[in-house]
Amino acid sequence: MSRRISPVTWLRRNLFRTWTDSILTIVFGALALYALFRTVNFIFVTGRWDIIRVNLRLLMVGRFPEVHELRLVITVIALAAWGGFLAGFLRARQLRAGRIEVKKEPADRARDLVARLWLPAFVVVLLLLLSESIGPWLMALAAAAAAVVGRLIGPYLGRPHFGLLGNALLTVLIAAVPVILYFYVVTAVGFDDWGGFMLNLFLAFCAIILCYPLGILLALGRRSTLPLVRLVSTGYIEIVRGAPLFVLLLLANVALGFFVPDSLAPSTSTRAIVVFTLFTAAYMAEIIRGGLQSVPRGQVEAAKATGLSPVRQTGYIVLPQALRNVIPAQIGQLISLFKDTTLAGIAMSLFELLNVATAIPAQGEFRGQGLIGETIAFAALLFWTVSYTMSRESQRLEKRLGVGVR
């Protein structure tokens, strides 16, 4: 039985063991307390947050026309229902396949949900408190209710076995929901009128979805035994990784007009998505290639011994293990991609969140008041919330898959 250590003993062992430890503890403890005091003082005393309250809509959705705001509301509610349904659907499938443990107690599930979502929920409540109308509150309540309903319905479709064709059709229908919602919004309001944090999220989401399969193909191509495929994949990876992302965004914004007529050139946001996809895919390919090299050769030999074709060896044996081994590096690259969406505002003049945050202090009623700190802090909070949530979810996935344990 382990003996309980008193707080004084713990402090002496961990913080004041030697004179050097004691001095470092006092110095850095004082610096931490000073930084905490300045932060709290800025948030609750000296910070002038009226600029955020007045420009909240501009910060979140940019110049999106008010007449089409209902489409955004419907899209948010539908995505919440889709996300809840997908969570219930996948969990039921995993339970049926025996891939996860038996259902937890309601109290344990509630604690797990709070631990996962407390930060996004806090930020959403903060945004609602800053809003000046009841509309955002109604949308948030409707989205929460839709997510709960989707979560309750999902397990019922996740339990039955519909056969190969039925499962394929159901997968296509589930994947089609975001695509349908995308066209529902973009047919009314084109990319040029999108902005704010919504644009950052959209650029990151599209680039993440598109760069992942391209990165896998490039990683497999670089390890291919076909010289031409290996040469093309290696050349692409090395050239793109050697070019700064900012320069590629500038080229897409300026140089594309010299080669493509204006009538055929895609919108600025589309160019940004293409650049982010191609750039991140090159880095993702190297990460996945490292994962492929980490798979023991005995796994491949065992797959060959069972008579699997090369495609099935890669798809069923090698690739799943490779992707599992490099989850931290993959998520780190995707978080970097999300934060790099701010470069699109500088290089391509897109009205994304950071561009808005640096522009609104020049408004007439706020000019000359030095409120750039408040707007930058607000933008940093939103970016940190998404990045931190992605990081925590990746750690949860690692724990579930036993990365580093088995």
Tell me the average pLDDT across 55-69: 92
**What is the distance in angstroms between the CA of the first residue and the CA of the last residue of the chain?**
28
Q: What angle do CA 321, 158, 318 make, to 5 degrees?
A: 10
Alpha-carbon distance 382 to 127, whole Å? 10
pLDDT-based confidence at 316, cuts 50/70/90? confident
* pLDDT tens digits along 254-287: 887 777 777 777 888 999 999 999 999 999 999 9
Alpha-carbon distance 202 to 276, whole Å? 12
Alpha-carbon distance 377 to 383, whole Å? 10
pLDDT-based confidence at 336, cuts 50/70/90? very high
Alpha-carbon distance 120 to 385, whole Å? 6
Token pair 């090395």 is at which residue? 238
Alpha-carbon distance 379 to 200, whole Å? 11
Helix/strand/coil (H/E/C) assignment for every residue in 133-193: CCHHHHHHHHHHHHHHHHHHHHHHHHCCCCHHHHHHHHHHHHHHHHHHHHHHHHCCCCHHH
The burial class, CB within 10 Å (0-12 / 13-18 / 19+), for 95 is middle
What class has domain 195-406? mainly alpha
**Of 28, 23, 154, 141, whose CA–CA distance to 82 is shortest?**
154
**Of 405, 373, 283, whose CA–CA distance to 335 is shortest?**
283
Alpha-carbon distance 147 to 142, whole Å? 9
Beta-carbon contacts of 312 under 8 Å, excluding residues fewer than 6 positions away, are 303
Alpha-carbon distance 123 to 247, whole Å? 34
Alpha-carbon distance 228 to 101, whole Å? 46
The whole-number pLDDT of residue 105 equals 67
Alpha-carbon distance 55 to 60, whole Å? 9
- For residue 359, is pLDDT > 60? yes
- Alpha-carbon Rg of the chain, whole angstroms? 25
Classify the phi-psi angles of 242: left when phi > 0, otherwise alpha if psi is within -120 to 50, otherwise beta.
alpha
1-5, 23-27, 372-376: least confidently modelled range: 1-5
Alpha-carbon distance 352 to 346, whole Å? 9
User: Which DSSP string corresponds to 63-130?
Assistant: T--GGGHHHHHHHHHHHHHHHHHHHHHHHHHHHHHT-SPSPPPHHHHHHHHHHHHHHHHHHHHHHHHH
Alpha-carbon distance 271 to 260, whole Å? 12
* Cβ 222 vs Cβ 230: under 8 Å: yes
The whole-number pLDDT of residue 3 equals 67
* pLDDT tens digits along 295-315: 888 888 888 888 888 888 888
The whole-number pLDDT of residue 207 equals 94
Q: Which tokens belong to 241? A: 């990784």
The whole-number pLDDT of residue 101 equals 56
Position 369, amino acid: Q
Q: Which tokens belong to 374? A: 């408040």
* pLDDT tens digits along 5-44: 788 888 888 888 888 989 999 999 999 999 999 999 999 9
- For residue 234, is pLDDT > 50? yes
> Where in the chain are the domains?
7-46, 65-188, 195-406
